[in-house]
Amino acid sequence: MWFSEFVRSLVSSFVARRYWGTQRVARVCQVSPATVASWVDQGLLKGHKTPTGRRRVQTDDLVAFLRAHSMVVPPELEQGDRTPRVVVVEDDPGYLRALVRTIEKCARSRSRISGWRWWRRRTAWTGCSRSGGCNPR
């Protein structure tokens, strides 16, 4: 049971959070990246530092900051588009089509069963493998 909870929390945190670096925030606010870093360090803009020392700001925190300071909120921030994106790089057109079909098929399939039981049923129904994901049909 702990495994399904771990996967669920991992996926929800990945989908729910979108981080912005100082360069992107600076472009939106029309200030320098050093100013954004200063705002984060002073606590004016809620953010955090990565282990490598870079600063990251969540989308929701950036929107709240922009509204609190009467700045324009860009349309991509207001829409709240949280759809996860997958980039596939492959030079074989046939394999690329198969990968895209597989990803689309897996994205469309929704299941009420979570975790290990979902994987067991999925492998029994469509021939998915643990290492290879869903096989296209």
State the CATH number of the domain containing residue 31: 1.10.1660.10
Q: Based on the domain organization, do 87 and 110 belong to the same domain?
A: yes
Q: Full-prediction pTM beyond 0.75?
A: no
Q: Is residue 73 located within the same domain as residue 113? A: no
Q: Residue 4 has what pLDDT?
A: 45
Output the pLDDT for position 124.
58
Burial class (CB in 10 A: 0-12, 13-18, 19+), 98: middle
Which has the higher per-residue pLDDT, 12 or 90? Answer: 90
Q: Fill in the amino acid letter for 65.
A: F
User: What CA–CA distances, in Å, run from 36 to 21, 29, 65, 69, 100?
Assistant: 9, 9, 11, 14, 38
Q: Which long-range contacts (CB under 8 A, 24 or more apart) does 15-18 make?
A: 15/82, 15/84, 16/82, 17/58, 17/59, 18/58, 18/59, 18/82
Q: Report yes or no: 123 and 112 within 8 Å, Cβ to Cβ.
A: no
Domain end call among 78, 108, 124: 78
Q: For residue 28, is it within any domain?
A: yes
pLDDT value for 35: 95
Q: What is the pLDDT of residue 60?
A: 87
pLDDT value of position 116: 56
Higher-confidence residue of 43 and 81: namely 43
Grade residue 19 by pLDDT with cuts at 50, 70 and 90: confident
Domain boundary among 55, 78, 101: 78
Nearest to 56 by CA among 46, 64, 48, 65: 48
- In a domain? residue 125: yes
Q: Do 27 and 74 fall within a single domain?
A: yes
Total domains in the chain come to 2
Name all contacts of 32-36 with Cβ < 8 Å and 24+ positions apart: none
Closest residue by Cα to residue 112 from 126, 103, 122, 102: 122
Both 73 and 23 in a single domain?
Answer: yes
* 3-class secondary structure, 37: helix
pLDDT digits (tens, 9 = 90+) for 20-63: 999 999 998 999 999 999 999 999 999 999 999 999 999 889 99
